[in-house]
Amino acid sequence: MPTQAVVIGVDSSTQSAKAAFIEVATGRVLAVGRAAHEVSGAGGARESDPEAWWGALREAVAYGLKESGVPASSVTGIAVAGQQHGLVVLDGSGSPVRPAMLWNDTRSAPQAAALTGELGGPGAWTGRTGSVPVASLTATKWRWLREHEPRAAEAAAAVRLPHDFLTERLAGVAVTDPGDASGTGWYSTKTGAYDPELLDLIGLDAGLLPTVAPTGGTRAGSLTAAAADALGLPAGIAVAAGTGDNMAAAVGLGLGGGGLLDHPVLSLGTSGTVFAATRARPVSPALSGFAAADGTYLPLACTLNCTLAVDRIAALLGLSRDTAEAGGEVVLLPYLDGERTPDLPEASGSLIGLRHTTSRQQILGAAYEGAVVTVLRALDEVLRACGLDPAGPEVSARPLRLVGGGARGRHWVETVRRLSGRPLLIPPTAEPVAVGAAALAAGASTGNDPVELARAWQSAVGGTVELPPVERDTATWSRVSAAIDRAASG
């Protein structure tokens, strides 16, 4: 192993690729390369060209390699964490048959409802997969493709998730991991394998799917000569199986391997996501009962509308995001792209409670409040699935780990504090997904446990911000929560 061993963790997200170069011995982030890629679509469609992901990965790695200043020979491993649920359909040459349908593509909502009923209802699905079909799950997108674009489905020689596609480009092998596989709707968290009955139900041949590695830190293979030439890296370095973005974030935060976490995670990004790691397999129709990258479980709830939706409201109002004020009597549910939690794929944004005295700043503040209450209600469901009472004094006193782009926004942080009434921990890294992927790469190259490596890195780096609780704004909570209940009831 080189004197200064370095690993690369790639976060291939909805809109960009990030490549974190991390020193294995210290956890020091040497550089983060970034490159954007496009999302297209209207009327519920959200699609990207998988080749653009590969191009962005190459660009991000090249930039990170230059900025880090380390020789390429120091790199010992690489792993990809990708946006979950996306449907990638490949032909016999490994090229995409069509653009990938992304997680936030809501066109398959009717197929999700149909599949739920065909298996016998929500309980039948959670008993097998841990999750009830919604438009985000890959199985619903495959059903949509078969119904709306049968020629594309018939042309499929391989079906992949976004991170599988990129891992295959790196190592030349078709492999996924239990974490990302558990978001497909055809993988059983109960058996730890693809479910033949579910594959028959959606009309998908298991032979089109990648092998499932034991964990995301398993060495899937070695960097091929072609990939090494494209990336400027040594051929033969370790390529980990990788995982989904949320599972990688949990690894990057050093979470897993035990019981319920002391600090559940709230991620404020394109979507608002909450999760906790547990050894007990959660079964609740209100959330996604995912597997984790380390062999435990990751009960998770995701809302579609978070930072981008609030930024859009700010743009419509002609305001900068940090000029927001508390919403007062105004309630704004920023469900600009439908919603996933609650499951309202056809929903649109709503604004109620306007007065002559209402300011633009208060309307913007109400958008923050609508997004935050939605995601905090989802957190309550995660805690209940882990057997805890969210309102119990022992639970409500537990800090929340706040991550994602919103964790760097003053008004996001203050709105979460005010509406949760809980202490917050803000980890020093702004890239937990990329750091988690790097830990998986380090595990694949050294044989060490990725979660333990990430914990050691966190301890060495330090710098976590701790914010004490403030008095909870129960009036705003009740007002927004009632509006959400009305929207969910139709």
Q: Give the containing element (helix H, strand E) for 226.
A: helix 225-231
How far from the centroid of its chain's Cα atoms is residue 249's Cα?
8
For the CA atoms of 128, 129, 131, 137, the dihedral, rounded to the nearest 10 degrees, stands at -140
Distance separating alpha carbons of residues 290 and 179, to the nearest angstrom:
6
> Please, are residues 39 and 48 in contact by the beta-carbon 8 Å criterion?
yes
**Residue 339 carries which DSSP code?**
B
Catalytic residue among 105, 177, 245, 449: 245
Sheet containing strand 465-467, edge to edge, reads 288-291, 297-303, 272-275, 265-268, 400-403, 424-426, 465-467
Question: CA Rg, the chain, in Å?
Answer: 21
Q: Is 322 a catalytic residue?
A: no
Judged by DSSP in three states, 69 sits in coil
State the CB neighbour count (10 A cutoff) for residue 112. 23
- For tokens 């394998």, the residue is 193
| Residues in Cβ contact with 266 at an 8 Å cutoff, skipping those fewer than 6 apart | 272, 273, 274, 375, 376, 379, 400, 401, 402, 403, 416
Q: Are 297 and 290 in contact (CB under 8 A)?
A: yes
User: How would you classify residue 409: left for phi > 0, otherwise alpha for psi between -120 and 50, otherwise beta?
Assistant: beta
56 membership: H or E segment, kind and range: helix 50-68
Separation of alpha carbons 106 and 202, rounded Å? 17
- Looking at the annotation, which residues are catalytic? 245
